[in-house]
Amino acid sequence: MPGPRRQRAGSSVVFTVVVTVLVTLGALVILAILAFSGAPRTLFLATVLAALPVGPLVGCYLWLDRYEPEPRTLLAAGLLWGCFVATALALLIQGLGGFVVTFTDRQGLELVAPVSEEACKGLFLFLLLFWRRGELDGVLDGIVYAGMVGIGFAFTENILYLAAAYNGTDGTGPGGTDALTATFVVRCVISPFAHPLFTTFTGIGVGLAVNARSRSARVLWPLAGYACAVAAHALWNTSTVYGFDNFAVLYVVLMAPAFLGVLGLAIWSRSSERRMLASALSDAAGRGLIPATDIGWVVDLRARRQARAYARSVGGRPGERAMRDYQQAAIELGFLHYRLLRGTPPPDYAARGQQFLQRIDALRPSIAFPGQVVPTR
């Protein structure tokens, strides 16, 4: 039987291959749709406008993801999944569904779109949970990955909506600059967080499943999160059917508070991660796995930056890189040890823990925190 490390490597390869193939196929589908949906100049303008909220939104999620930064390749994969795979699958499902079952435009907006789109976006999170569970440490990780997928989906969808508004093919008017401006304000200024917010509910469910002790909870939490994502999406779409006044009321009364509530949950989760890391690493220090004097330089973000600056001042870029690697290994060990203490360690706990300890033992002699003796090289 293959060991934990080989199982983890095999799962990682399968995940990478599946995501890469689907992103490539999805990109071909979306590019073909864009090529036939309008003039190149219109698409260029729509793409530029749709891209404006992407940077700030990604920056917000990266800010939340500072305690244990997720692999940039996985975050990029989530973004690309939303851009290409989720949008292409949703369009395919909705198109094929129209041939099998006849839906009115309103039914498609209120029911079909929320169910299919949240399933297509949430599939990336389910793949992570199945093949890359080790990268998920809790609710905050689920929120971050869900946000990336939602941002990518909204970007591509906004291109299509903006182009259709300008060309007058969206059925709301003759098109032109006024229609483009109105669509841009609603989708990219007032509600750029809509799709990330919907998918966040699935991300929360996946994050809760990671640390759930019972098998039933590990199954039910993601399903409950997906159901909430569909409900929020359906409610949002339904509000657009009854005119701008109803949309504005729903936005002020429900959606904006929901967004602020999820943001508050994310910030609280990040604060709780600090307490959790401090507790887990204190227990690890008691077992002789890490020096207790290092914990403060690992769990406190300001102290972490100070330690890196100090390492750079005495050791240059290599010193800073060693400090960063040491802190990251200690953080990973803390999350892994926390799951052991909770009784929910991943199957490859022993192999991963050994890897982190080897990195810590190899790096510790070559670094020093402020106030400590600088090691000679």
Q: How does pLDDT run across 210-238, given as a tens digit for each residue?
A: 888 888 988 999 999 999 999 999 988 88
Residues 178 and 43 in one domain: yes
> How many structural domains is the chain composed of?
2
Is residue 80 included in any domain, yes or no? yes
Contact 46, 163 (CB under 8 A): yes
pLDDT given at position 3: 44
Question: Dihedral sign, CA of 67, 266, 302, 282?
Answer: negative
Mean confidence (pLDDT) of the chain:
86
d(CA 309, CA 294): 16
Give percent above pLDDT 90 in the chain. 40
Give percent above pLDDT 70 in the chain. 91
Radius of gyration of the chain (CA): 23
Residues 333 and 233 in one domain: no
- Count helices and strands (H / E) in the chain: 16, 0
Look at residues 269, 377, 359 and name the one whose alpha carbon lies nearest to residue 315.
Answer: 377
* HSE-CB for 297 with a 13 A CA cutoff: 25
pLDDT digits (tens, 9 = 90+) for 38-87: 667 788 888 999 999 999 999 989 988 877 788 889 999 999 999 999 99
Residues 316 and 207 in one domain: no
Q: Show the domain range for 156.
A: 9-241
d(CA 5, CA 359): 16
Look at residues 227, 221, 228 and name the one whose alpha carbon lies nearest to residue 206.
Answer: 221
Is residue 259 included in any domain, yes or no? no
Contact 195, 153 (CB under 8 A): yes
Q: Under 8 Å CB-to-CB from 191, ≥6 apart: which residues? A: 251, 255
* Tokens describing residue 5: 């490390």
**Residue 130 — very low, low, confident or very high, per pLDDT cuts 50/70/90?**
confident
Residues 45 and 186 in one domain: yes
Residues 180 and 48 in one domain: yes
Residues 293 and 336 in one domain: yes
Residues 231 and 282 in one domain: no
73-111 residues labelled b (16+ CB within 10 A) or e (exposed): ebbebbbbbbbbbbbbbbbebbeeeeeeeebeeeeebbb
**Residue 109 — very low, low, confident or very high, per pLDDT cuts 50/70/90?**
confident
Is residue 257 included in any domain, yes or no? no
Look at residues 348, 206, 274, 4 and name the one whose alpha carbon lies nearest to residue 340.
Answer: 348
Q: Under 8 Å CB-to-CB from 274, ≥6 apart: which residues? A: 67, 299, 300
* Tokens describing residue 47: 């793409």
Give me the mean pLDDT over the 86-103 stretch.
Answer: 81
Is residue 78 included in any domain, yes or no? yes
Residues 17 and 130 in one domain: yes
In this prediction the pTM is: 0.85
Task: Choose one of 185, 219, 241: the last residue of a domain.
Answer: 241
**DSSP letters of 212-281?**
-SSHHHHHHHHHHHHHHHHHHHHHHHHHHHT-HHHHHHHIIIIIHHHHHHHHHHHHHHHHHHHHHHHHHH
Is residue 2 included in any domain, yes or no? no
State the residue for tokens 């602020």: 260
Is residue 237 included in any domain, yes or no? yes
Residues 215 and 322 in one domain: no
pLDDT given at position 6: 47
Give me the mean pLDDT over the 91-103 stretch.
Answer: 75
